[in-house]
Amino acid sequence: MAGTLAEKVWADHVVRRGENGEPDLLYIDLQLLHEVTSPQAFDGLRQEGRLPRRIDQTIATEDHNTPTIDIDKPIADITSRTQIDTLRRNAQEFGVRIHSLGDRDQGIVHVVGPQLGLTMPGITVVCGDSHTSTHGAFGALAFGIGTSEVEHVLATQTLSLTPFKTMAINVTGSLKPGVTAKDIILAVIAKIGTGGGAGYVLEYRGEAIRELSMEGRMTICNMSIEAGARAGMIAPDETTFEYVKGRPHAPQGEDWDEAVAYWKTLRSDDDATFDAEVVIDADELEPFVTWGTNPGQGLPLSAAVPAPEDFVDETDRYAAERALEYMDLVPGTPLKDIKVDTVFMGSCTNGRIEDLRAFASVLEGRTKHPDVRVMVVPGSARVRLQAEQEGLDEIFLAFGAEWRQAGCSMCLGMNPDQLAPGERAASTSNRNFEGRQGKGGRTHLVSPVVAAATAVRGTLSSPSDLGAPVAPAAPSDLQPTA
Amino acid sequence: MEAFTTHTGIGVPLRRSNVDTDQIIPAVYLKRVTKTGFDDGLFNAWRTNDPEFVLNKPAYAKGSVLVAGPDFGTGSSREHAVWALRDYGFKAVLSTRFAEIFRGNAGKQGLVAGILSQDDIEQLWKILEETPGAEVTVDLENRQVHAGESTFRFDIDEYTRWRLMEGLDDIGLTLRHEAEITAFEATRPAWMPKTLPARTADSV
């Protein structure tokens, strides 16, 4: 029978088919752990006298709580330090591989997995973190779970799950220069809404997706959860194989050939049916930005702040009213007139080397707006090393940005990197929820190049708003279309 | 997990959509390594900054059935959101649509996440706002909510309902099939990812 990519990966992992409405028992190939959602899971194992079933399919890193400066000193926040120490103790007690602060392989869990070559096409990946959907960029079925499920996977290497529905997101055409993967996913979420993907695994398809690098694909799959989807996937292709090849844990020799032969079968059949389908025209896309307090409240950067009356649905109208109040925005204000205090460049959405390169390419030879603070936080210690090898750090520092150590940083207001109440940020992260980046902080989600242009002008901006030196593309290509 | 059949308690009308898990419990409250004591973090920003917030009104403060707008529990996977609701005293949350990770987490912790139509949610809001402190009964066995003179039907998947009513431990249930897990493992190709022995890149 014809199947979609998600259905094929699912079928290859069913340990036991559920009967009479019971869920299927699904095998989990890889579990990633971090300090926040694992302590109670290890505690549960201890209480029941259980051991992790497969420590060789488990890996831990420290990211959410970790500071991004002075990492050689003890963590000042005592509760953060306790959580990190608890993870280290648990890893030692149960024999789980861990990459701690200061280690070259430490970093945001979703940057570390792909970087080590542990994330592969066709596998199942879980982590107690909703952005586990990132790994779907490889054609893996990857999703976030709660702490009880973390314990369940530690103990059994399986999860009981009800099959998902599938939704095709067809992104036709090609992106214009200055428009990126981040703009695709923000446009998708604005179109289907924060609950639009509920019950679905999204499969991103089409020419514009095929043209993306692995890093761009990870940005897209990362934010599938912001549309309410359980996972996002992209069928593996030569771009995927090229990225995985030669990484520390990638298959080698004959294993590699066997793996690739299997991976090539991982695509939705031509006659497969999706439960829902959405089309986005990449040719028409322009840089996107959020104006509200959920990731679905986004618009093209050339638009103006909407008025609550613009929304037909009563719930949407009320949500817009509340969001505008929290964001302190006046309807009708051009988005490009909104001043920001902070630019945050980083996170599991946009903290990889390509993101840093894109950010640096806009900053280079330009001057930072005096009122803006710019934080650049690599997604992993290795990304930081690579950026330094390429001299990107010098561009950041010359521009007046802070160049920090790897971690989740200002994405989530859990470590010292936070917005002050009332502060406004252009952020390459994934969530613009109330207080997400610090109590009372206001977040506009943007791509790395929009973040960079904003750092130059001090208001939300795209690279096409900047004077020379400009990207080598023809200026007409950079003009917004609407 | 304690078995759940019916629960009667004060209904709390939360007229908001897209209540994400950062609102339910902000990240700064996630640093504990225990599974209890999260009630102080529940809706912390709203409880501290907004005197009009429903739980700040004495009639609702001891609520145990939350009636919320669509897309409840979106965002982060933090199970702490469920622990915070549970620690505060909530036994059930009713909404038109839940984020899936939240719904899964609720089912593991004995918190009923019942799905009603928007019309029924509106009617419940009306009843609870007209009579602050009114009690609501959540009858899991019959999938019904009783409030005032009205009865509403809610949806919850059959497997979760069964587990909640029996108070069953998930891991124990799965380990009944350990032989099948072992048999499955024997069929996995050798090149599937292995974290051990640890390998690392030689250069950047």
Q: Which residues pair with B150 in a beta bridge?
A: B147
* Residues of chain B with confidence (pLDDT) below 50: none
Q: Which residues pair with B136 in a beta bridge?
A: B9, B147
Asked if pLDDT for residue A166 goes beyond 90, the answer is yes
Cβ pairs bridging A and B (under 8 Å): 225
Q: How far apart are CA A433 and CA A440, in angstroms?
A: 10
Asked if pLDDT for residue A470 goes beyond 60, the answer is no
Give yes or no for a contact between A421 and A441, defined as CB atoms under 8 angstroms apart.
yes
Q: How far apart are CA B73 and CA B179, in angstroms?
A: 36
Q: How far apart are CA B90 and CA B106, in angstroms?
A: 11
Quick one: average pLDDT of A392-411? 98
Chain A residues with CB-CB distance to B190 below 8 A: 255
Nearest to A413 among B26, B104, B196 (CB): B26
Q: CA dihedral in degrees (A125, A128, A133, A137; nearest 10)?
A: -40
Give me the amino acid identity at A85.
D
Structure tokens at A479: 């003009």
The CA radius of gyration of chain A, in Å to the nearest whole number, is 22
Chain A residues with CB-CB distance to B181 below 8 A: 15, 25, 27, 53, 156-158
Q: How far apart are CA A58 and CA A81, in angstroms?
A: 22
Quick one: average pLDDT of A285-300? 98
Give yes or no for a contact between A471 and A463, defined as CB atoms under 8 angstroms apart.
yes
In the DSSP assignment, the letter for residue A296 is T
**Is residue B88 within a helix (H) or strand (E), and if so which, with residue range?**
helix B80-88
Q: What is the pLDDT of residue B169?
A: 84
Q: What is the pLDDT of residue B98?
A: 97
Q: What is the pLDDT of residue A467?
A: 83
Interface test with B, best of A22, A30, A40, A105 (most B CBs within 10 A): A40
Q: What is the pLDDT of residue B203?
A: 77
- Whether residues A251 and B191 touch (CB distance < 8 A) is answered with yes
Across A162-275, the runs of DSSP E, i.e. the strands, are 165-172, 200-205, 231-233
- Whether residues A144 and B192 touch (CB distance < 8 A) is answered with no
Note the pLDDT tens digit of each residue in A29-86.
Answer: 999 999 999 999 999 999 899 999 999 999 999 999 999 999 999 999 999 999 999 9
| CB interface of B with A, residues 140-199, below 8 Å | 157-159, 170-171, 173-175, 177-178, 180-181, 184-185, 188-196, 198-199
Q: Among A231, A59, A198, A55, which Cα is nearest to A131's?
A: A231
Note the pLDDT tens digit of each residue in A260-277.
Answer: 999 999 999 999 999 999
Quick one: average pLDDT of A429-435? 97
Please tell me the distance in Å from B99's CA to the nearest CA on chain A. 6
Please tell me the distance in Å from A69's CA to the nearest CA on chain B. 19
Asked if pLDDT for residue A476 goes beyond 80, the answer is no
Q: What is the pLDDT of residue A475?
A: 41
Across chain B, the runs of DSSP E, i.e. the strands, are 6-14, 65-68, 92-95, 112-115, 135-139, 144-147, 150-153
- Whether residues A149 and B108 touch (CB distance < 8 A) is answered with yes
The pLDDT-based confidence of A479 (bands split at 50, 70, 90) is very low
Q: What is the pLDDT of residue A478?
A: 43
Chain A residues with CB-CB distance to B173 below 8 A: 160
Long-range pairs of B125-130 with CB within 8 A, sequence gap ≥ 24:
B125/B13, B125/B15, B125/B67, B127/B11, B128/B11, B128/B12, B128/B13, B128/B67, B129/B13
Q: What is the pLDDT of residue A474?
A: 42
Give me the amino acid identity at A343.
V
* Neighbouring C-beta atoms of residue A314, cutoff 10 Å: 11
Q: A21 and chain B: CB distance < 8 Å anywhere?
A: yes
Q: What is the pLDDT of residue A468?
A: 77
Q: A82 and chain B: CB distance < 8 Å anywhere?
A: yes
Q: Among A405, A415, A427, A301, which Cα is nearest to A359's?
A: A427
In the DSSP assignment, the letter for residue B155 is B
Q: How far apart are CA A260 and CA A254, in angstroms?
A: 10
Distances from the Cα of A370 to the Cα of A220, A235, A401, A470, angstroms: 32, 44, 11, 20
Nearest to A385 among B20, B190, B204 (CB): B204
Chain A residues with CB-CB distance to B18 below 8 A: 194-195, 294, 319
Q: How far apart are CA B173 and CA A432, in angstroms?
A: 39
Residue A459's SS3 state is: strand
| CB interface of B with A, residues 115-134, below 8 Å | none
Chain A residues with CB-CB distance to B159 below 8 A: 18, 21-23, 160, 162
Q: Which residues pair with B8 in a beta bridge?
A: B137
Chain B residues with CB-CB distance to A58 below 8 A: 195
Q: A319 and chain B: CB distance < 8 Å anywhere?
A: yes
In the DSSP assignment, the letter for residue A414 is S
Q: B28 and chain A: CB distance < 8 Å anywhere?
A: yes
Q: A311 and chain B: CB distance < 8 Å anywhere?
A: no
Would the ipTM clear 0.85, i.e. be above it? Answer: yes
Q: How far apart are CA A244 and CA A266, in angstroms?
A: 15
Whether the model clears a pTM of 0.90, i.e. scores above it, the answer is: yes
Strand order in the sheet with A442-445: A402-403, A373-376, A342-345, A424-427, A442-445
Q: What is the pLDDT of residue A20?
A: 82
Q: What is the pLDDT of residue A477?
A: 43
Quick one: average pLDDT of A383-409? 98
Please tell me the distance in Å from A286's CA to the nearest CA on chain B. 25
Minimum Cα–Cα distance from A128: chain B residue: B77
